[in-house]
Structures are given as C-alpha cells and as structure tokens.
Structure 1
Amino acid sequence: MSRVCEISGKNVMSGNNVSHAKNRTRRKFLPNLQNVKLFSKSLDKFINMKICVRSLKTVEKNGGLDDYLKKTSNRVLAPEAIAIKNTILKHVKKDQNVNKL
C-alpha cells in the first residue's frame, strides 16, 4: 500500500494546475509520508509504519501511539491502525486480568 497513511488512511488526491491564462492540466497531490518507528508501551515493542506528518503530530500530541489509538474511534482510523488498536486492547485486557488474580 504505497502512498497511503497507515493511521489516517490519507492518500493521493488529484486536481488541476491552473496557469495565469487559466489553462488547466491534471496533477497529483501527494501526502507527506514518512517511515517511522512508533513505540507501543503496552506491547513493549517498536512498530514500523508509513504515516503522514499530520498523523505523527497528533500521535505525539496525544501522548504516544497507545493513547492515541485508545482515544480515536474506528471510523477515523485506517484498517492497519484498527488491527494494531485491537491487539493493544487485547493485551491491556489480558494484563488487567492477570493483575486481578
């Protein structure tokens, strides 16, 4: 899945270059994607992801990958992010059950 953010699902958009003479030619608007390693505290490992800078800023603002995914609804997230969110929630639930015993 190239040119698609793995958290927000932002992808390539198309539009027009408009010259001074109002001539229109088609162009692509590419998202600012970066390869990053995000650390998951609950899974205790790094996760390699290809995400846009806008998503990276919101992840850092919300206190890390785990906190961001817990706060965000599934409607906003891309399928890859939903899968990571489900594994994090399962791991947290399992840890809570172990601590109760």
Structure 2
Amino acid sequence: MSRRCELTGKAVLVGNLVSHSNHKTKTRFLPNLVKVTLSSETLGRSVRLRVATAALRSVEHRGGLDAFLLKASDTQLSIGARALKREITKKQATA
C-alpha cells in the first residue's frame, strides 16, 4: 500500500534535514494518512478511504464526499476514488 492520499494525491516528499553546522541528512516527509469511513449521500452507503487529514478538512469544506469528488480532477484521484466518482455521476444522471 503506497503512502498516498486517495483523494488529493498527497504523497511522500524527500528532502534534507539541515543542522546548525549546515550538515545535511536525507529524510522522508510522510503525509498524515488516516483510514476513514466517509458516507456518500447519492449512493446511500459508506466508503473506506485512506486520506490525509488535510483532505478531510477539504471534504467537509466542500459539503461532503460527493461534492468533493465531483469537483476534483481525475488525475489526483486514486483508481478506487475514480470508480466511486463514476458511480456517483451515473447515479445523479439517472435521478
């Protein structure tokens, strides 16, 4: 399982820790990922996703999982999130 947010695409960054004497040490900056169960109002079911905590704030700000997925671009979404977005758009088109 990769360390990548399924909604925003936030991933591991690589950089240097720089000491006072300017000594550089390679390090990895990991995203703050949590496993969350979000509910889709359109589909009427809940979905488990591994997302960054910043993405949770974005989901709440946009008005829920459905609104977030419809506004998000497909390039930053994971394969599972893209499939979920297709389900939601198909369900809204029939309703």
Q: TM-score, normalised by structure 2?
A: 0.91
CA distance in structure 2 between the partners assigned to 1:86 and 1:39 by the alignment: 16
Offset of residue 69 of structure 1: 1.1
Aligned partner of 1:30: which letter? L
Where do 4+ consecutive residues of structure 1 move more than 4 Å? none
The within-5 A match list for 1:1-101 is: 1-94=1-94, 96=95
CA distance in structure 2 between the partners assigned to 1:61 and 1:38 by the alignment: 14
Aligned partner of 2:70: which letter? K
Match in the other structure for 1:99: none
Q: What runs of 5+ residues in structure 1 fail to find an aligned partner?
A: 97-101
Q: Deviations over 1:46-74 (max 9, x none)?
A: 10000001111000001100011112232
**Residue 37 to residue 64, structure 1, CA distance change in 2 (3 Å):** same
RMSD: 1.3
Indicate the structure (1 or 2) with the bigger Cα radius of gyration: 1
Aligned to 1:61, the other structure's residue is in SS state helix
Identical residues among aligned pairs (%)? 41
Offset of residue 92 of structure 1: 1.6
Aligned to 2:49, the other structure's residue is in SS state strand
Offset of residue 3 of structure 1: 1.3
Offset of residue 75 of structure 1: 3.6
CA distance in structure 2 between the partners assigned to 1:73 and 1:8 by the alignment: 9
Aligned to 1:14, the other structure's residue is in SS state strand
